[in-house]
Chain A
Amino acid sequence: MSTMNLIIFIVQQMMNFSVPLLIVALGGLFAERSGIVNIALDGTMILGAFTGIMFLHMVQATGAETGQFTLLAALLISAVTGVIVSLFHAYASVNMKADQTISGTAINMFAPAVSIFVARLVVGVQQVTFSNRFIIDSVPVLGKIPLIGPMLFQRSYLTTYIGFAILVVSAVVLYKTRFGLRLRSCGEHPQAADSVGINVYKMRYAGTLISGALAGIGGLVFIIPTSVNFDANVSGYGFLAIAVLIFGQWKPGRILFASLFFGLMKTISAVYTSVPFLMSLSIPSDVYKMFPYIATLIVLVFTARNSQAPRAEGIPYDKGER
């Protein structure tokens, strides 16, 4: 493989790792900016991927043609699933003023168990299969651009562009709208927000439900390019997304950087066998597998001097308290 083709291949692969992380971390961003720590991202991803894949499995079982519109419908189903799941988290965190790690942990336990249970009940086996007919060989016009075309617009997925669209929309919503300002104020100082008439409970619900929708979508986006069946897990990507969120200092632009960085590291560790130089070193594959995580820690050491975490995250808001 020529160096050029190798770079193109790495960028294409990188998108498969980076985009789901980007989407889910942005989901986490909405929740944490509103003051709710959503450790349930992993479980929400699992359930979102489960219903989405289940839908594709059933449509494909009927023999119907599945194209990009079916994929969009599946994404919508995943998003709705995520919203429903996160309602439970929001209720516990906002109304019950519960410790947010508890209900999050409960959802993370619940998700794989329930998807295996339902899959066995409906499909008969634990793994839900689907056939991947969603890859776009070349986007019209854009795919013809030299260099950038092959990297970003050939052998790509619609979900990649949706991911970037979510990034842009999220940044605009958070920083350029009244809703975004209100949401962020609830994560920084809910008492002050309340005093000027913002409904903190409502804002925190909104943040958590948006995070659920994005995590649900992210689950499906992760499974489709990387697998041929869904086996009740998303390889811990929900936890990695939390890591990306923290790495990205709770800011959309930095989250993009963090997810691209992590995706690149992950790709290098996955495709090193295609690089003759790396192969010739005959280093055990486990060393490459550790690489993304070690690299992330090292980068953090140099960048994370002052944490930008929302001040009030994880603290239940009680109107009566001062």
Chain B
Amino acid sequence: MKGKGNFIERQGFRSALASIIAIAIGMVAGLIILLISNPAKALPGFVAIATGGLSNMKYMGQVLYYATPIIMTGLSVAFAKKTGLFNIGASGQYMMGAFAAVYVGVKFTGVPAGLHCLLAILAAAVVGAVWGSVPGILKAYCNINEVIACIMMNYIGMSTCNLCVQQLIFDRKKNQSLQPVASAILPKLGFDKIFVDGGAPSSVNAGFVIAVLLGILVWVILEKTKLGFELKACGYNRDASKYGGINDKKNILLAMVISGSLAGIGGALYYLSGAGSGIPVQEVVAAEGFNGIPVALLGMSNPIAVIFTGTFMAYLTQGGLSMQSYGFPTQIVDIMSSVIIYFSAFALFFSQTIEKLYKRSKAKRAAAAQTGKGGDGK
């Protein structure tokens, strides 16, 4: 078979098609729920979900704004998964990264504008990496399952973040962190001129561009470098890669460090957006970290696909906000997303079914051609 022969014969196309089937099923489920809860408004509500993210330029911008942190945590989870690690600790890394970025953003006044926000992002990357390195070290050198260490680090991160925010950068009135100074806010890159509706610009900023560039960078690291090859080899078979001369311990640690820094940067990009939200002091592990898991899974841990799935999930979030005006709770969108993710687990099955159907029709055509030929030869 030629590598670039028929569409359906290509693995990538089949898995994309499988994802589209999952999305379609999720959409239908959403429609059914809307019909059950309020038949009269179900259709406009559904249209709002499906098109809300495109209905005006501001909302389009908001989609990219919401996408930024979950692309980053999605990349974090995906990167670890390629190395055979389940980074369920992106939440903790995200929160600690957010704290580091906001701390630098609030305290380091007088640093030139461009440098300031880079410094803040760097701080987030370092702190996120430190938070990710703990499960990495424990996994590599003490043989502690990374899932348990990550869960513990999430809670430790939550409390540490609360503690540090309250002690160092607290806005008592709002029960959240202070706002970073203007020089630490990510530049708008003219997005505030493009994504505007009626004079109100959306919150999208350079953060989205950074997330996309990092997604591409992660892809390059994984697919085009020796490091990426070693990391993936460890993921496929730790013992075999060790036998092949790869330092498995170093690679596990490195994978968690990079994964943690990606999640940490996610926290920085969200809280340096200048949209006015500070880090809230609450007894809840940040949802953005957990939302990275479905983003990564839906993108089959491919960094480029993660950019798209993150944007897609953000698109549904914005659609849900648009749908609220018809009196539906936003949870309907979460239900839809969960149905989509559930059926994305069937990708293998869908892909095999498509292949089977295709082969059958091909065989049938071939058989028809055969009999046709036979007829001619008479």
Contacts and interface: CB of A to CB of B under 8 A. Distances in A.
Q: Are A and B interaction partners?
A: yes
Interface of A: 88, 92, 96-99, 101-103, 105-110, 112-114, 116-117, 120-121, 236, 239-240, 242-243, 246-247, 284, 286-287, 289-290, 292-294, 296-297, 300-301, 304-307, 309
A307 B143 contact: yes
B308 to A, nearest CB: 17
Given A105-B297, A286-B162, A290-B160, A88 B148 contact: no
A102 B329 contact: no
Contacts of B283: 289
A289 B155 CA distance: 8
B345 A107 contact: no
A96 B294 CA distance: 18
Interface string B45-69: 0000000000000000000000000
B159 A289 contact: yes
A110 B345 contact: no
B138 interface: yes
8 contacts: A96-B348, A101-B86, A106-B294, A246-B147, A289-B159, A297-B138, A305-B142, A307-B145
A103 B341 CA distance: 7
Contact of A103 (B138, B329, B342, B349): B342
Interface stretch (B124-132, B210-218, B332-340, B367-375): B332-340
A109 B334 contact: yes
B149 A114 contact: no
Contact of A113 (B145, B293, B338): B338
Contacts of B166: 284, 286
Interface string B148-181: 1101111110011011001100000000000000
Nearest to A286: B163
A99 B297 CA distance: 9
A97 B351 CA distance: 13
B346 A294 contact: no
A47 B154 CA distance: 23
A246 B147 CA distance: 9
A68 B9 CA distance: 61
A301 B341 contact: no
A301 B144 contact: yes
A222 B145 CA distance: 25
Contact of B344 (A102, A243, A287): A102
Given A240-B151, A284-B163, A301 B138 contact: yes
B37 interface: yes
Contacts, number: 136
Given A294-B156, A301-B138, A306-B143, A239 B88 contact: yes
Given A102-B345, A106-B345, A242-B148, A286 B160 contact: yes
A299 to B, nearest CB: 10
Contacts of A307: 143, 145
A102 B344 CA distance: 8
B145 A110 contact: no
B285 interface: yes
A105 B290 CA distance: 9
Contact of A304 (B143, B342, B345): B143
A284 B161 CA distance: 13
B148 A110 contact: no
Contacts of B237: none
A160 to B, nearest CB: 24
Nearest to B342: A106
Interface string B302-343: 000000000000000000000000000101101101110110
Main secondary structure of the interface of B (DSSP, over half): helix
Interface of B: 33, 37, 86, 88, 134, 138, 142-145, 147-149, 151-156, 159-160, 162-163, 166-167, 283, 285, 290, 293-294, 297, 329, 331-332, 334-335, 337-339, 341-342, 344-349
B173 to A, nearest CB: 20
B330 to A, nearest CB: 9
A92 B342 contact: yes
A117 B331 contact: yes
Contact of B297 (A101, A114, A121, A287): A101
Of listed A106, A114, A243, A309, residue having the most chain B CB within 10 A: A106
Contacts of A304: 142-145
Contacts of A92: 342, 345-346
B148 A98 contact: no
- A101, A102, A239: most-surrounded residue (chain B CB, <10 A): A102
A240 B148 CA distance: 8
Contacts of B37: 117, 121
Given A88-B342, A284-B163, 7 more contacts: A96-B348, A97-B348, A102-B297, A113-B335, A114-B331, A117-B335, A243-B148
A296 B156 CA distance: 11
B138 A110 contact: no
A98 B350 CA distance: 11
A99 B294 CA distance: 12
A239 B341 contact: no
B143 A305 contact: yes
A96 B346 CA distance: 6
Contact of B145 (A236, A246, A289): A246
Contacts of B138: 297, 300-301
A116 to B, nearest CB: 5
Nearest to A99: B345
A120 to B, nearest CB: 6
Contacts of B144: 297, 300-301, 304
A243 B145 CA distance: 9
B160 A106 contact: no
Contacts of B334: 109-110, 112-113
A116 B143 contact: no
A101 B78 CA distance: 13
Nearest to A244: B148
A237 to B, nearest CB: 11
Contacts of A98: 345-349
B294 to A, nearest CB: 6
A247 B142 contact: no
A96 B345 contact: yes
Contact of A110 (B335, B347, B349): B335
B147 A116 contact: no
Contact of A239 (B151, B331, B337, B347): B151
